[in-house]
């Protein structure tokens, strides 16, 4: 529930980006809206990479790396 809601909030925030507001710095932030949006995507990929490494260290082939069955 929390993960799904966080992705929904991220999608909503990204959809609100425009050419006019993407370089604005939101209140209580030190980064532009564009930087915050791109950081969210990069951060998710970092977690994905950590999960893949954890699976491999425990002898599990991650689903995205598995061969397709004929």
Check: CB of residue 33 under 8 Å from CB of residue 24: yes
CA-to-CA dists, residue 21 to 12, 17, 27, 36, 42, angstroms: 15, 6, 13, 12, 21
CA distance 48 to 38: 16
**Looking at per-residue confidence, does 58 or 66 come out higher?**
58
Residue spans per domain, the chain: 25-65
Q: What is the pLDDT of residues 8-65, one digit of tens each?
A: 999 999 999 999 999 999 999 999 999 999 999 999 899 999 999 999 999 999 988 9
Indicate left, alpha or beta for 62 from its phi (over 0: left) and psi (-120 to 50: alpha).
beta
pLDDT at site 57: 96
């Amino acid at each position: 529930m929390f993960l799904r809601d966080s992705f929904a909030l991220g999608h909503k925030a990204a959809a609100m980006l425009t050419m006019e507001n993407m370089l604005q710095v939101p209140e209580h932030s030190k980064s532009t809206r564009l930087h915050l949006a791109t950081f969210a995507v990069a951060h998710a990929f970092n977690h994905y990479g950590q999960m893949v490494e954890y699976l491999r260290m425990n002898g599990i082939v991650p689903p995205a790396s598995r061969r397709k069955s004929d």
